[in-house]
Each structure stands twice: as structure tokens, then as C-alpha cells.
Amino acid sequence: MAALNFRQREQLFHELAQFARSGVPLNHAFEILSRNPRSEIRVCLKAVRENLKASGEAGRAFREAGFSESDAAVIEAGEATGRLDTVFLDLEAYYRQLANARRTIIAKSLYPVIVLHLGAVLLAIPPAIMEGGRLAFFAHALPILAAFYAALFAGAVFWRIVRALLSRDRGTARLLMRIPLFGAFLRDWTAWRFASVLSLYAGAGGGLLRAFEIAGSCCGNAVLRSASASATSLVRAGQGLTEAFRKQKAIPELLERAIEVGEHSGRLDEETRRAAEIFKEKTLGALDALAQWTPRILYILIVLFIGWRIVQTALAVANSVNSILNDESQ
């Protein structure tokens, strides 16, 4: 994958859209954008430009430069239909959504993380005063922070494993989506990706069945990918699009209805884009709920921990007083 974050991809596709709308050839646009020596986009565009010169195909050039299959496929469709400007604008909007979603998650996660660090520091002060010295302070603060970062690392590893299993194995994907709350989040998240890619490819003027194939391959959900592949096979065998997708139990009702309305109205790109927005709101809503409950849980844990430390400190003081009294009585 190209080494660009969501904001950089948003910026890149915005600039390419502006050049395409002005009639500037794609190769010349790459040359202009590559002139800024401080831009991280420049390195990426160098690879795209070289691939474009070798193949003469924009979609293939982006694919070989490390962009995602969905990006490359949408660009291919836009190039074939002469709608590269529209495709680049759609990709700009898509990555803006992803960048905004990531920023929201990070912003909502900062507060509980700050609370945890502050709690670890404050809780380490009384033992440091009683035991005297920096070593006592670090001995009480560092284990709390180390446990937090270990949990954070374990969570990141767990999420990567879940994503891999969800994408590769249908049986495991079904089991994961049956987990209360977490399964609903996975369904909405992958349906968001599916509907977004589908709307992008359909809006670019690509083939309808190819649009479903690309969306299925990029959604990260083996169940949804299999259902989409099964439905497209039925369509090739002569069934209607809506009828074929109705037979797939793994397809969310909202997505199924968007396909039905889109097929009969000729506005599949608009209907699936609307579905993608709804799935996005559900996904971000779940993350927002997590962000709201995380500090509450941390507060409870901190209060319990403070209470335990107070009891420990009180017992230590009582033991010290008893020891002094015993020494004086002797």
C-alpha cells in the first residue's frame, strides 16, 4: 500500500481532480505535483508516474505503486469512461471521511488516556513521600503505565487478528459477527466499506457486476464477500440483481434495499452512497459509545485503586505507629 495517510490521500486526489477538471494530462499533473521536494506525496507520485509511462494505464500505475485494489479499480473505470475528474473527487471525499473518522476516534480517546496517566502519577506520590525517593515513585507509577501500554499493544494485536480472520474465513467471520455488540460493529464497519467502494465504482461508470466483485474483495468480510460473489453468479445465470441479493442472508437489509432501489431507479451509486453514510454513522456511533464508556470505566478502576492504596497507606502508618510505641515501651 502506498505510504500515505488518509489526509495525504485526500489531498492527492483533490489536486488530481483539479488538474483533471482543467484538462491537464495525468502525466503532466504528476510532474507538477512531484516538484515539491518537501512533500511526502512526491515520492509516491514518482512511482505512479514511472508505472504510467511503462504501462500507459492509470489504474494499473496506481495499483503497481501500492495503492489499494479498490482505488486502482475505480481509477480504471474512470479512465475507461472518461470520468477521471469525478473519480478523483469521489476518492477525495472517501478519504476525507476516513480521515475525519480516525481524528474523531483519536480525539475521544485522548481524555481517558490523560486521566489514566494523571492517576498513575498522583497515586505514586504518597508512597514516594512515605518511602522517600524517586525510586519509590517510579516503582509505583511505572507498573500502572506499563500495564496500560501492554493492554494497548495486546488490543492492537487482537484487532489485527480479528481483521485477518474476518477477511479470510467465512466460518470464523460468522462467529465473530454473532458476538453481542462487537459483532454488530463488525457488520456495520464492513458494510460501510462495501457500500463505499460499490458507490465509487458504480459512479465511475464501471461494469455493474465488476463493481460488486471489487466491493466484495475490499470490504474485509469473508461472509459479505461470499454473498456478493454468490449473488453475481446468479445474475450471470439470468436472475435479476435484486432477486439474487435477496437470497443472500448475509447481506444487510439496508444494503439490499439500496441495491433494489438503485437497480430500478438507475441510481445505484447514489443509493449505495446513502447506505454507506448510514453504515458510517452506525460505526462511528459505536466508537463514540466506546469513547464515552472508557473514561467511566477508568474512573471506577481509579477510584477502586485509590481506595485500595488508601487502605494500604493507612495500614502502613498504623504498623509504623505500633512499631514506634512498642520500641518506646521497651
Q: Which residue, chain included where needed, has cell 460505526?
A: 283
Q: pLDDT per residue over 209-220, tens digit each? A: 888 888 888 888
Task: Report the CATH number of the 6-94 domain.
Answer: 1.20.81
- DSSP state, 205? T
Residue 229 to residue 235: CA distance in whole angstroms: 10
Identify which of 180, 113, 188, 191 has the alpha carbon closest to the alpha carbon of residue 152. Answer: 113
User: What is the chain's length?
Assistant: 330
> What's the CA dihedral at 95, 98, 99, 104 to 10 degrees?
160
pLDDT of residue 329: 63
Q: pLDDT per residue over 241-258, tens digit each? A: 888 988 888 888 899 899
| Residue 147 binned pLDDT confidence (cut-offs 50, 70, 90) | confident
Q: pLDDT per residue over 70-98, tens digit each? A: 788 888 888 887 888 888 988 898 888 88
| Residue 136 binned pLDDT confidence (cut-offs 50, 70, 90) | confident
Q: pLDDT per residue over 39-82, tens digit each? A: 778 888 888 888 888 888 888 888 888 888 778 888 888 888 78
Domains 6-94 and 100-320 share a fold: yes
Ordered by start, the domain boundaries in the chain are 6-94, 100-320
| Residue 158 binned pLDDT confidence (cut-offs 50, 70, 90) | very high
293 grid coordinates: 464508556
Least confident window among 127-141, 156-170, 304-318? 304-318
Instruction: Please determine, for residue 230, whether its predicted confidence score (pLDDT) is greater than 70.
Output: yes
140 grid coordinates: 509505583
- Give the DSSP letter string of 206-264: --HHHHHHHHHHHSS-HHHHHHHHHHHHHHHTT--HHHHHHT-TTS-HHHHHHHHHHHH
CATH 1.20.81.30 holds for 100-320: yes
